[in-house]
Amino acid sequence: MSDSIELEAQYCAHNYHPLPVVLTRGEGVFVWDEDGKKYLDMMSAYSAVSHGHANPRLVKLVQEQVATLNIVSRAFYSDRLGPFLARACELTGMDMALPMNTGAEAVETAIKAARKWAYTVKGVADNQAEIIGCDGNFHGRTIAAVAMSDEPQYQQGFGPFPPGFRNVEYGSIDALADAITENTAAFICEPIQGEGGIVIPPDGYLRAAADLCRERNVLLIIDEIQTGLGRTGKILACEHENVRPDGLILGKALGGGILPVSMFLARRDVMEVFTPGDHGSTFGGNPLGAAIGLEALNILVENKLADNSARLGAHLLAELRKIDSPMIREVRGRGLFVGVELDPDLASARAVCEALMERGLLSKETHETVVRLAPPLVISKAEIDWAVSQIREVIEELDQVRLAS
């Protein structure tokens, strides 16, 4: 066993189950392990490395900014934050933004904004505001986020949980309509459930949800931490249905694969419920993170990464669907956000990922039945074709082993 793996096993909390590979370097769509073996990264850190590893423009900017100014806290203004927030609002159609660091922090920010908006604008009675989520959701692992979850492992041993959350069936407008009451502050939803297994709701669901929320005076908050910034073939996944939410959560790719950078964006009347002291973060909106975030957005647009995702994602889906095996239940996705669901009676997603790792392709299972494929958006068609060939061969090999046993 590698010394690095032994050290992590001894000193790091066992809250992850990594594949047994120790990575030491990355460039573009590739990473290398401590023995110098090269791998195609079809995971991109859960969509955080959309711009590719060690993107030259981002590396150059970081080197310059690190030597200039990094952290001052928002006790003072900086020359980097304003331009970053302006660009983010321009690209998303939002009015204002509140910068944070991790996606989970941005989710917490959205929850606080929705509750305070309900009390100060909508007129919900004190401490009665409710937020509706979806079955199968994933919004992080903070106490509030897991209070919304229906995944037993996320909740077991961590209660009691804060009240004011309820879930409805993902994709069902009727269920959402039935759940809304006079106390409903917001409906928070992922346009595609990533951690849930790349689950896509029925066509028209987000549009209908937006119309319903507007009719019932409920905020529609879209969590685009994984799906946003080109991942599904558009800047935002909700754009596939021409939906502009009342609140928007961004993270992961916003940090260019370098730093945790996130934000909650919203309509002006929603964001203006915050007053000095209501909410904050020592590192949120720091000059280094803001500089990286602005450059990440500029690269996304100038290099047409969303277009690349749309084009090559369609190709990836088409090629994967040509693999004829009883092990595969379904191939689904949008853009370069794809899931291969396996029949758990015939195959283990973990076993598939481990076999792919041996061949020089890195991915990760979700919920033990889905192989998630979300490469950097700078990937090429040739690299996609090579990845599909490896997946096909692994499936064929496992099929042969299964039939021989």
List active site positions.
138, 223, 252
Element (H, E) at 105: helix 103-117
State which amino acid sits at residue 288. Answer: L
Amino acid identity of residue 160, one-letter, is P
Residue 179, helix vs strand vs coil: helix
Which token pair is 32?
Answer: 């290398």
Give the pairing type, strands 184-189 and 219-223.
parallel
Q: Name the amino acid, one letter, at 239.
A: E
Handedness of CA 206, 105, 297, 199 (dihedral sign): negative
* Dihedral angle sign, alpha carbons of residues 224, 225, 227, 233: positive
Residue with tokens 């073939």: 233
Determine phi and psi for 224, rounding to 5 degrees.
Answer: -110, 30
- CB under 8 Å to 342, separation ≥6 — which residues? 327, 328, 329, 348, 349, 352, 369, 370, 371
CB atoms within 10 A of CB 134: 27
Strand order in the sheet with 338-342: 328-333, 338-342, 370-373, 364-366
Cis peptide before 344 (omega within 30 of 0): no
Q: How far apart are CA 148 and CA 330, in angstroms?
A: 27
Using a 10 angstrom Cβ sphere, with 0-12 exposed, 13-18 middle and 19 or more buried, the burial of residue 74 is middle
